[in-house]
Amino acid sequence: MHKRRLGRTDLLVSQICLGSMTWGQQNTEAEGHAQMDLAFESGVNFIDTAELYPIPPKAETQGRTEKIIGSWMKANGNRDKVIIASKVVGRTGNIWFRGDRPSKLARADIFDAVEKSLTKLGTDYIDLYQIHWPERDIPWGANPTRVGAVARRADTEGAPAGETPIAETLGVFDELVKAGKIRHFGLSNESSWGVMRFLGEADKGVGPRPVSLQNAYSLVNRTFEVNLAEVCEREQIAFLPYSPLAQGYLTGKYDHGARPQGSRSQLFNRGQRYETPNAAQVLLEYNELARSFGMEPALFANAYVSSRPFVTSNIIGATAIWQLEMALSSAEVRWTEEMQKAIDAVHQRVGNPCP
Fill in the amino acid letter for 13.
V
> Residue 156: what pLDDT?
42
Integer Cα distance of 277 and 141 in angstroms: 18
pLDDT band at 149 (very low <50, low <70, confident <90, very high): low
> Residue 209: what pLDDT?
98
Residues β-bridged to residue 17: 315
**Cis status of the peptide bond prior to 309, with omega within 30 of 0:** no
**Average pLDDT of the segment spanning 71-84:** 98
Ramachandran category for residue 14: left, alpha or beta (phi over 0 → left; psi -120 to 50 → alpha): beta
Contact present, 236 and 7 (Cβ < 8 Å):
yes
**Average pLDDT of the segment spanning 46-60:** 97
Question: 166-178 and 192-203 are packed helices; what angle lies between their axes, rounded to 10 degrees?
Answer: 60
Fill in the amino acid letter for 109.
D
Residues 6+ away with beta carbon under 8 Å from 308: 217
pLDDT band at 266 (very low <50, low <70, confident <90, very high): low
Q: Give percent of the chain above pLDDT 90.
A: 85
**Per-residue pLDDT for 30 more than 60?**
yes
- Helix or strand or coil: residue 329? helix
Classify residue 122 by its DSSP letter: T
Residues β-bridged to residue 92: 103
**Per-residue pLDDT for 41 more than 60?**
yes
* pLDDT tens-digit series, residues 159-209: 556 789 999 999 999 999 999 999 999 999 999 999 999 999 999 999 999
Burial class (CB in 10 A: 0-12, 13-18, 19+), 7: buried
Classify residue 310 by its DSSP letter: T
Integer Cα distance of 272 and 171 in angstroms: 36
Q: Which domains does the chain have, with CATH numbers?
A: 3-146+155-350 (3.20.20.100)
> Residue 155: what pLDDT?
44
> Residue 273: what pLDDT?
80
Integer Cα distance of 42 and 16 in angstroms: 10
pLDDT band at 86 (very low <50, low <70, confident <90, very high): very high
> Residue 143: what pLDDT?
79
> Residue 157: what pLDDT?
47
Spell out where the chain has E strands.
Answer: 3-5, 12-14, 16-19, 46-48, 83-88, 126-131, 182-188, 212-214, 238-239, 314-316
Integer Cα distance of 27 and 3 in angstroms: 28
> Residue 327: what pLDDT?
98
Residues β-bridged to residue 271: none
**Secondary structure element (H or E) that encloses residue 303, with its range:** helix 297-307
**Average pLDDT of the segment spanning 334-342:** 98
Mean pLDDT taken over the chain: 93
Q: What totals of helices (H) and strands (E) does the chain contain, helices first?
A: 11, 10
> Residue 131: what pLDDT?
98
Q: Which residues are catalytic?
A: 53
pLDDT band at 277 (very low <50, low <70, confident <90, very high): confident
**Secondary structure element (H or E) that encloses residue 166, with its range:** helix 166-178
Contact present, 252 and 297 (Cβ < 8 Å):
yes
Spell out where 139-274 has E strands.
Answer: 182-188, 212-214, 238-239
- Helix or strand or coil: residue 331? helix
Integer Cα distance of 68 and 122 in angstroms: 10
Burial class (CB in 10 A: 0-12, 13-18, 19+), 38: middle
**Per-residue pLDDT for 355 more than 70?**
yes
pLDDT band at 248 (very low <50, low <70, confident <90, very high): very high
Classify residue 312 by its DSSP letter: S
**Per-residue pLDDT for 110 more than 80?**
yes
> Residue 264: what pLDDT?
73
